[in-house]
Structure 1
């Protein structure tokens, strides 16, 4: 028979939304604001980097970053994120969620600031040091994923847990928008002060030396929100679920939550001992595979597919902006004007598609459930991508471009009112407490592996049949966009299939959905787990 639930866990599950819930969301959300700013601001300044460091006089076109190098800058960040997600996820289960929570934002602040100070005696030297610093930035950003999701999920009640975790992730939308605003303000300020002619009017004067300050300021600004959240994170108490179910300190868990909830809670050490007996199995054990193997496969695979699709969408934006004439040909603008126009186009997409999608998830995730929203998001992205691909030539003609922009904006809306949000929420809910951060780290690392596949896949898509790189944007227009959208639509179908492997956590306590509410030998399916063979590789 399953032991009675701990008072401290029951109190957390039934608590109404209180000040400490909102405080946790703000603290974690500020970190995700910095995460999103740091991740996406680089796409706003890559054209400026090409103009400054890769201009070849007499070529007739402004300089641009080679696609391989552009992919390498993004890839370095993603590789850092994979390392951070795996490392800090594991540390979160071994040493506590809070212990390294401040360390991640320190890494982010240092990575952002040093990225703006990238140095070298040549273009290759500057971009190499930029990749190095962006890698360490990625380690900090990656570590934020499993720790923030786990902390907020373990603080929340079962009725509002999805909305609170989704709200943390939704702050990303404001971070993306902030990156656009900072780029707009900085580029407009320098453009007003150092008026530069279009490239075709004066190639040498179209990129004033002051343009080098613009991209550095944009990248360094990401250190500000990361620094602001450090102090708050160090003052947060450890989650009661870690303290009771992993550290097995019933008294401390009760004391911490009595102070937070302002109620009297008993420590109940005997119940803690009964609940945690036999729960030392690792991720690589047979017992974990039997209980949660399909769940981990589903969570990781869905996030991998989403990574491929979502980051490929961001890359395709540049080509679509060009085809609908939102961003004119590079030779018709100065470097600073181009940075301004690119940021403005991204800001419109963020306002109309990205932000609303995030907050629709916050509003509905505890109403209709995680799986329903994930199914809907993958399905709607599939439909819009197939429609755009089939009608692409007509949609790029004058008079119909607004429809292309609208349809493409809806793919971002349903990415965020869909798997981009739910893949972050679900892994923080469905795994046992002693492996929760680790499994979230593995799932999110799979997502960034998908981002690497998407980024470098489009690098190879940029190659023409003769092996040369596409001249203007680095990506083939028309047919290349259409073929890419067909591939992404097929990837979304895989996401729908893998979603079927996941349980629905809506309205259930973390212990119920993960199996931590039963005794040490009870599996999720009611089968007896063999404790003796579960200790193969404790991780």
Structure 2
């Protein structure tokens, strides 16, 4: 019955129009900001250690203590997890649009506040930074379920996967821009102060008053793209699927979509009330009916996202340590503090440009042809292969072929993004009922952030601690990195197995997938497709 609503049929059958691209840009700029804010911290953690924890009586520049580095790196992920659950639920209760601007303003304010972190001691500054980054993550978390749900409910049936994936692909540009901004800022300060390496002049290599501005500018820049899109977010109408199926207002749904699609649509108020009040639109999230229809699907979307993010965020947040371990970035004492930022940003920008960004857009290009299931399975498979290919002959890569290591490492990013990093975002926005769609996407995304927290706080923290102990004891470094890569390979293999719980959503309307179409009682199964 829901599939017979004229306003929803019009959305499903609509040709690709200007409003589709407008929605992609408006929603995508949120993800641009999300990625910039989450990953830019990895560009400046070594600088923070130099500025606040260097003892110039020692032979090595300072670094953040392991517990503080994990907190600074991971606290935003904790906020993101909380925000995904809260705003996901709120998006189903109040509507997507009503809370969409709130998340963006929270990101703007907390990006600026992060750069203004203060304290009378190094630990005080780090505590303030962690406080603001938690609330920054809270706003970022809300963007996940809201952007995905809005885009899925605006899109047509034929190209819905590409549109949702395009929103998520803006994350790649956010990571790339973070590296470029860090390059520009570090080059500017390096040119002005021309600081020597730590080995040459310990005090001059830091230039504390000036270099303290570098990390603050990099973090605060994240407010710019979010602020630029706030006005346009507020002008977007509520999605017709929420207005009709959840708010039960067929007249407003038809009026809003008539403006968007530039066609005349009937209000169908009586039909909307019948559909919205039908038995199939009454069961709740914790009901037996939901577990029967969508229980395994929710298990599939949460577990695959959880496993994927352990690997994805570990790679992104700690790739500077991997590059240092293989010698691609020189030892800290051979560089000034600002030149170290430049070298880290250069490495991460190169990885983003050559593998991360292309991987996202390969998904956009092929997702509605190959399907979500095939891309996710393929991505996990190749991530597993490349992780083991890096880990097993790790000593060979480290001592004899560092460039080969970087190339192989780049392939793991490519197949992460042309694979599960994109599809885990797309599928939860398609397969659940409209009144639970934002909530279920938020739960799935929060499971992913739980995986990211495992990587940031636990798994790689243990690997780094082992590495530090070996260095202090005089042993050859790098064993911790090798074990990390092996574990990531195992995790990716598990993600491949759990992918079989995730249904294929290519070519179906949202109402067919969620079971809100009363004329279609069939349930979706893995790998099932319909003609486009």
Range of TM-score over shorter length: over 0.9
> What secondary structure does 1:158 align onto?
coil
Could you say which residue in structure 2 is the equivalent of 1:270? Answer: 270
Instruction: Trace 1:273-288 onto structure 2 (pairs within 5 A).
Output: 273-276=273-276, 277-278=278-279, 279-288=281-290
Instruction: Trace 1:488-499 onto structure 2 (pairs within 5 A).
Output: 488-499=488-499
Instruction: Trace 1:174-185 onto structure 2 (pairs within 5 A).
Output: 174-185=173-184
Could you say which residue in structure 1 is the equivalent of 2:344? Answer: 342
State the alpha-carbon separation in 2 of the partners of residues 417 and 306 from structure 1: 13
State the alpha-carbon separation in 2 of the partners of residues 3 and 406 from structure 1: 49
Could you say which residue in structure 1 is the equivalent of 2:392? Answer: 390
**Distance change (3 Å), C-alpha of 1:31 and 1:316:** closer
Could you say which residue in structure 2 is the equivalent of 1:308? Answer: 310
| Cα distance per residue 1:476-521 (max 9 Å; x no partner) | 84322221111111111111111111111101100011111126x9
How many angstroms does 1:525 deviate by?
7.0
How many angstroms does 1:321 deviate by?
1.2
Tell me if the contact between 2:33 and 2:222 (Cα under 8 Å) persists in the aligned partners. yes
How many angstroms does 1:260 deviate by?
0.9
Instruction: Trace 1:364-513 onto structure 2 (pairs within 5 A).
Output: 364-398=366-400, 400-456=401-457, 457-464=459-466, 469=469, 477-513=477-513
State the alpha-carbon separation in 2 of the partners of residues 525 and 190 from structure 1: 57
> What secondary structure does 2:322 align onto?
helix
Tell me if the contact between 2:3 and 2:512 (Cα under 8 Å) persists in the aligned partners. no
**Distance change (3 Å), C-alpha of 1:3 and 1:490:** closer
State the alpha-carbon separation in 2 of the partners of residues 470 and 217 from structure 1: 35
How many angstroms does 1:439 deviate by?
0.2
Could you say which residue in structure 1 is the equivalent of 2:293? Answer: 291
Could you say which residue in structure 1 is the equivalent of 2:249? Answer: 249
Tell me if the contact between 1:461 and 1:476 (Cα under 8 Å) persists in the aligned partners. no
The structure with more helix, counted as a fraction of residues: 2
**Distance change (3 Å), C-alpha of 1:195 and 1:61:** same
**Distance change (3 Å), C-alpha of 1:445 and 1:525:** closer
> What secondary structure does 1:462 align onto?
helix
State the alpha-carbon separation in 1 of the partners of residues 476 and 19 from structure 2: 51
Tell me if the contact between 2:328 and 2:402 (Cα under 8 Å) persists in the aligned partners. no
Could you say which residue in structure 2 is the equivalent of 1:67? Answer: 66
How well do the aligned residues superpose, as a CA RMSD in angstroms? 1.7
State the alpha-carbon separation in 2 of the partners of residues 346 and 119 from structure 1: 28
Aligned pairs, number: 519
How many angstroms does 1:56 deviate by?
1.5
**Distance change (3 Å), C-alpha of 1:119 and 1:270:** same
Unaligned runs of 5+ residues in structure 1 are 527-539
State the alpha-carbon separation in 2 of the partners of residues 282 and 113 from structure 1: 39
Tell me if the contact between 1:82 and 1:449 (Cα under 8 Å) persists in the aligned partners. yes
How many angstroms does 1:274 deviate by?
2.5
Could you say which residue in structure 2 is the equivalent of 1:86? Answer: 85
Could you say which residue in structure 1 is the equivalent of 2:530? Answer: none
**Distance change (3 Å), C-alpha of 1:404 and 1:353:** same
How many angstroms does 1:369 deviate by?
0.3
**Distance change (3 Å), C-alpha of 1:4 and 1:435:** closer
How many angstroms does 1:297 deviate by?
0.6
How many angstroms does 1:325 deviate by?
2.9
**Distance change (3 Å), C-alpha of 1:481 and 1:16:** same
State the alpha-carbon separation in 1 of the partners of residues 503 and 106 from structure 2: 34
TM-score under structure 2 length normalisation? 0.95
> What secondary structure does 1:100 align onto?
helix
